[in-house]
């Protein structure tokens, strides 16, 4: 929620917690002001425009300090008249901090507190969920590490038993019955001999000497 207020002949767009510099007001630091010259109030998708002021709307602000603005240099010059005037100006200001915007029964401060409470609740719920997920991941990692250690121990025991059983089994000279049977089947299978295709030779080029004959020299 935000509002547009008028003070000192100027308009300011304000929200809860914003600080503004307005024309000097006759107040002391620490006091609380209620400005009822509200020209516009926007609450979400609803916007209320005053004619010229919004009914049942006001802005509460606390006075922070009295201050002065930046120096502005004013120079006046008239040619051919030998007239040159230069002076500076620092505007007297009052710094305000907006505490609340009230429109009817709705208060911007209460809405901001409700949003902050809801945000804190969501952040706490997200933190608890992240902590639970981290604990579950840690338990799963420990379980996998334990299972991996148990599996490596079983594999070591199995390799030792295989090494111990190699001495009791048949030697390399004794072939298994399956290999002998495959060798007998391969020996009984008839061999098919395919005839080789005759080799072809490219014809010799014209004018080239035939193989086995001597070339003749032609006198010019």
Query: What count of other Cβ atoms lies within 10 Å of the Cβ of residue 147?
Result: 10
pLDDT along the chain (220 residues), means of 10: 92 93 93 93 90 92 94 94 94 94 89 90 94 93 89 64 54 57 72 63 60 54
Q: What pLDDT does residue 73 have? A: 96
For the chain, which residues make up each domain, given as ranges? 2-104, 105-151
Q: What pLDDT does residue 220 have? A: 46
| Distances from the Cα of 45 to the Cα of 2, 72, 85, 107, 133, angstroms | 12, 40, 52, 16, 39
Phi, psi of 32 (to 5 degrees): -115, 130
Q: What pLDDT does residue 97 have? A: 95
Question: How far apart are the C-alpha atoms of 78 and 186, rounded to whole Å?
Answer: 124
Contact present, 23 and 10 (Cβ < 8 Å):
yes
The 8-class DSSP code of residue 52 comes to S
Question: How far apart are the C-alpha atoms of 93 and 95, rounded to whole Å?
Answer: 7
Which two structure tokens, joined as six digits, stand for 23? Answer: 């024309």
Q: What pLDDT does residue 44 have? A: 84
Q: What pLDDT does residue 173 have? A: 46
Model pTM above 0.85 = no
Q: What pLDDT does residue 72 have? A: 95
Point out which residues pair with 21 in neighbouring strands.
95
Q: What pLDDT does residue 165 have? A: 55
Cβ neighbors of 108 (< 8 A, separation 6 or more) are: 1, 2, 15, 16, 100, 101, 102
Question: How far apart are the C-alpha atoms of 42 and 214, rounded to whole Å?
Answer: 116
Q: What pLDDT does residue 27 have? A: 92
């Amino acid at each position: 929620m935000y509002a547009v207020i008028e003070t000192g002949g100027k308009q300011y767009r304000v929200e809860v917690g914003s600080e503004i510099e307005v024309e000097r007001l006759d107040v002391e630091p620490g006091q609380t002001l209620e400005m009822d010259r509200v020209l516009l109030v926007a609450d979400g998708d609803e916007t209320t425009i005053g004619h010229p002021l919004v009914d049942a709307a006001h802005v509460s602000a606390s006075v922070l300090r009295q201050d002065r603005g930046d120096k502005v240099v004013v120079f006046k010059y008239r040619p051919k008249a030998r007239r040159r005037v230069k002076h500076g100006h620092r505007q007297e200001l009052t710094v305000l901090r907006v505490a609340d915007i009230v429109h009817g029964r709705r208060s911007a401060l209460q809405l901001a507190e409700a949003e902050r409470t809801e945000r804190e609740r969501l952040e706490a719920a997200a933190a608890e969920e992240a902590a639970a997920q981290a604990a579950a991941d840690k338990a799963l990692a420990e379980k996998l590490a334990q299972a991996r250690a148990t599996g490596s121990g079983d594999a070591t025991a199995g390799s030792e038993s295989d090494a111990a059983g190699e001495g009791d089994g048949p030697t390399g000279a004794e072939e298994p019955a399956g290999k002998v049977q495959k060798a007998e089947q391969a020996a009984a299978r008839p061999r098919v001999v395919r005839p080789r295709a005759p080799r072809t030779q490219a014809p010799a080029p014209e004018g080239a000497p035939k193989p086995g004959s001597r070339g003749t020299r032609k006198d010019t």
